[in-house]
A = this chain, B = another copy of it.
Amino acid sequence: MSQLFVRTLREDPADAEVTSHRLLVRAGYIRRQAPGVFAWLPLGLRVRAKIERVIREEMAAAGAQEVLFPALLPREPYEATGRWEEYGDGIFRLKDRKGADYLLAPTHEEVFTLLVKDLYSSYKDLPLTIFQIQDKYRDEARPRAGLLRGREFSMKDAYSFDYTDAGLDVSYQAQRDAYERIFTRLGLDYVIVQADAGAMGGSRSEEFLHPTPIGEDTFVRSASGYAANVEAYTTPVPEALPIEGLAEAVIHDTPNTPTIATLVDVANVVEPRTDRAWEAADTLKNVVLALTHLDGSRELVIVAVPGDREVDLKRAEVAFAPAEVEPATEADFEKNPLLVKGYIGPWSPTGAVLGEESATGIRYLGDPRVVDGTSWITGANADGKHVFGLVAGRDFGFDGTVEIAEVRAGDPAPDGSGPVELARGMEIGHVFQLGRKYADALDLKVLDENGKLVTVTMGSYGIGVTRILAAIAEATADDRGLLWPRGIAPFDVHVVATGKDEVAFSLAASLAAELEAQRFEVLYDDRPKVSPGVKFGDAELLGVPTIVIVGRGAADGLVELWDRRTNERTEVPAADLVERFTASLA
């Protein structure tokens, strides 16, 4: 400890928002170099190396081979797949002295694809899964939470290559299984949720989320095993209802009802129900969104959701990807006088009908719950007017359905496994079936059994190495400091010599040597003029799970074995220490 390049801090760093950031800086594991960019000190690097070792072992067990790509890559492959533009401001771009374009790679699908294309040409070469552990760069708009959302971070990214869909399923499952083993070995709780592939394209996609209140993702899960990112939740479609016998729709004057709440109040006055009062869920809310497509063009769409639900813009982004989504602006309304703000609806006395027979030329998309036979109070496309008893499938239809309504606790799981609850999670791993998107764009084909060229199908599998280090720190820390699980702690045991008695220091040194001889990694706090209080505080902050105190009892051959987790201290004879410590690991 007197030699170790570390200094603990009493004060939290000013910019630290989360526990892991706070403690990793205070305990001298990392230091900030720039927003979202960190240097690793010896303690941090030791933990990082141990996590990498676990990942490498499980990758090898899954048959994946390690390679290594540079961070600096030329523009061309990313241009070919469209991602050079798609990433927008989210990546670091630069030019070399000759003016050629480069990027600091945020992920490596393109160059892995090209490498396999360079080496392989036959179905006999497949399946193949290759991976790297490598530093990646993303120019986050708001780097924060220390290692959890940095601009430089280490990732294990693996890519699988198959020539059949069934092969891809096998490769995908092998990585998925490896991820389960990795997180289990690291002692990191996880939930596998269905995810939307988003910008990565492809078909099957699951995220490994670590449940934590500081997670950036919201996910839903049922008691019986269903779990999905809210963006991937699909609404169970109710049975259609009989239309026959339903009353005609009626238009009512409903002035000053710009919101659902005011509308419900007025509805209960102008046409009260006999069985119960009107509720927000009886109304159909029509919201105008503006999509910005990749080519820069702007398109308005109208989306209909039950009035008791908000439009979830994150779900909307996924539904309309790769377009960007925002609420329509005043300018949009001014250009479209048929859209009467606050009174938009699918049916109209003025002829401004939405949907398949639209007069507006604007796509009209509906929540899956709005099935045929359901009856709604909704806008009449005329100022101050709503229509009551408007029946889907009779009075109006959609150009399509869309998953953009908010998901709420109690909503049914789509697999019938009951109601879902909502939780926050941190993404710690992601497995994707990319399919043929990258192989198509970069022309990766192999000859199949019949000598025919077939396009390769790929998977992409990522684990954030530095992020899971922070996630583990976050999950295991207590109010006294870091508290690493065995196996990834920077040391197996932390021996602390206290007091001024030379006997304690010489006993501590010999115990440290004895433990090292048993191949344990030992941090020995040999600092001569530091008080026991400071030493104990440092030991608690650094987070090695077992601490051995060699102090007053040393003269009598006694030391204390201190379990950092339970905070239990046991006096043991020094002669038994190694045996007792070894036994405590079992």
| Copies assembled | 2
Complex Cα distance, B6 from A96, in Å, reads 30
- CB atoms of A6 and B39 under 8 A apart: no
- CB atoms of B92 and A34 under 8 A apart: no
| Chain B contacts for A45, CB-based, 8 A | 66-68
Chain B residue with Cβ nearest A153:
B70
Complex Cα distance, B128 from A509, in Å, reads 22
- CB atoms of A139 and B34 under 8 A apart: no
Q: Give the Cβ gap from A47 to chain B, nearest Cβ, in Å.
A: 12
- CB atoms of B96 and A94 under 8 A apart: no
Chain B residue with Cβ nearest A40:
B68
| Chain B contacts for A135, CB-based, 8 A | 70-71, 135
Select the residue from A5, A28, A104, A137 with max chain B CB neighbours within 10 A: A5
In this assembly, does A73 line the interface, its C-beta being within 8 Å of a C-beta of chain B? yes
- CB atoms of B115 and A31 under 8 A apart: yes
Chain B residue with Cβ nearest A90:
B97
Encoded as 1 (CB less than 8 Å from any B CB) or 0, chain A from 88 to 126 comes to 010011101100101010000001000100111000000
In this assembly, does A199 line the interface, its C-beta being within 8 Å of a C-beta of chain B? no
In this assembly, does A141 line the interface, its C-beta being within 8 Å of a C-beta of chain B? yes
Complex Cα distance, B152 from A4, in Å, reads 31
In the complex, how many residues of chain A place their beta carbon closer than 8 angstroms to a beta carbon of chain B?
50
In this assembly, does A298 line the interface, its C-beta being within 8 Å of a C-beta of chain B? no
Q: Give the Cβ gap from A92 to chain B, nearest Cβ, in Å.
A: 6
Complex Cα distance, B154 from A70, in Å, reads 10
Q: Give the Cβ gap from A153 to chain B, nearest Cβ, in Å.
A: 10
Complex Cα distance, B139 from A97, in Å, reads 7
Complex Cα distance, B67 from A102, in Å, reads 28
- CB atoms of B70 and A42 under 8 A apart: no
Complex Cα distance, B31 from A175, in Å, reads 25
| Chain B contacts for A68, CB-based, 8 A | 39-40, 45, 48
Complex Cα distance, B34 from A48, in Å, reads 30
- CB atoms of A6 and B119 under 8 A apart: yes
Encoded as 1 (CB less than 8 Å from any B CB) or 0, chain A from 66 to 83 comes to 111111111000000000
- CB atoms of A72 and B37 under 8 A apart: yes
Encoded as 1 (CB less than 8 Å from any B CB) or 0, chain A from 505 to 524 comes to 00000000000000000000
- CB atoms of A72 and B104 under 8 A apart: yes
Known: A34-B74, A111-B33, A119-B5. A97 touches B67 (CB 8 A): no
- CB atoms of B104 and A97 under 8 A apart: no
In this assembly, does A7 line the interface, its C-beta being within 8 Å of a C-beta of chain B? yes
Which of A23-46 touch B at CB < 8 Å? 28, 31, 33-34, 37-42, 45
Complex Cα distance, B119 from A115, in Å, reads 43
| Chain B contacts for A73, CB-based, 8 A | 33-34, 37
Chain B residue with Cβ nearest A32:
B118
In this assembly, does A445 line the interface, its C-beta being within 8 Å of a C-beta of chain B? no
- CB atoms of A33 and B74 under 8 A apart: yes
| Chain B contacts for A120, CB-based, 8 A | 7
Complex Cα distance, B151 from A48, in Å, reads 27
Q: Give the Cβ gap from A222 to chain B, nearest Cβ, in Å.
A: 40
Complex Cα distance, B40 from A67, in Å, reads 5
In this assembly, does A65 line the interface, its C-beta being within 8 Å of a C-beta of chain B? yes
In this assembly, does A482 line the interface, its C-beta being within 8 Å of a C-beta of chain B? no
Known: A7-B119, A93-B94, A139-B97. A41 touches B69 (CB 8 A): no
Partner of A70, one of B33, B41, B72: B33
Q: Give the Cβ gap from A205 to chain B, nearest Cβ, in Å.
A: 25
Chain B residue with Cβ nearest A143:
B96
In this assembly, does A284 line the interface, its C-beta being within 8 Å of a C-beta of chain B? no
- CB atoms of A42 and B69 under 8 A apart: no
Complex Cα distance, B72 from A111, in Å, reads 21
| Chain B contacts for A38, CB-based, 8 A | 70
Q: Give the Cβ gap from A530 to chain B, nearest Cβ, in Å.
A: 11
- CB atoms of B115 and A39 under 8 A apart: yes
Encoded as 1 (CB less than 8 Å from any B CB) or 0, chain A from 147 to 178 comes to 00001100000000000000000000000000
In this assembly, does A130 line the interface, its C-beta being within 8 Å of a C-beta of chain B? yes
| Chain B contacts for A31, CB-based, 8 A | 115, 118
Partner of A66, one of B34, B42, B128: B42
Complex Cα distance, B97 from A139, in Å, reads 7
Select the residue from A67, A120, A130, A135 with max chain B CB neighbours within 10 A: A67
**7 tightest A-B CB contacts, nearest first:** A94-B94, A40-B68, A7-B119, A34-B74, A89-B97, A39-B69, A70-B152
Using a CB–CB cutoff of 8 Å, the interface residues on chain A facing chain B are 3-7, 28, 31, 33-34, 37-42, 45, 48, 63, 65-74, 89, 92-94, 96-97, 100, 102, 104, 111, 115, 118-120, 128, 130, 135, 137, 139, 141, 151-152
Known: A37-B73, A41-B115. 14 other contacts (CB 8 A): A7-B120, A34-B73, A37-B74, A38-B70, A39-B68, A39-B111, A40-B67, A41-B67, A42-B130, A45-B67, A70-B152, A72-B104, A93-B94, A135-B135
Q: Would you mind naming 20 contact pairs between A and B with Cβ atoms under 8 Å apart?
A: A3-B65, A5-B128, A6-B119, A33-B111, A34-B74, A34-B100, A37-B74, A39-B111, A40-B68, A41-B115, A42-B65, A45-B66, A45-B68, A71-B71, A71-B152, A72-B92, A92-B102, A96-B151, A97-B139, A97-B141
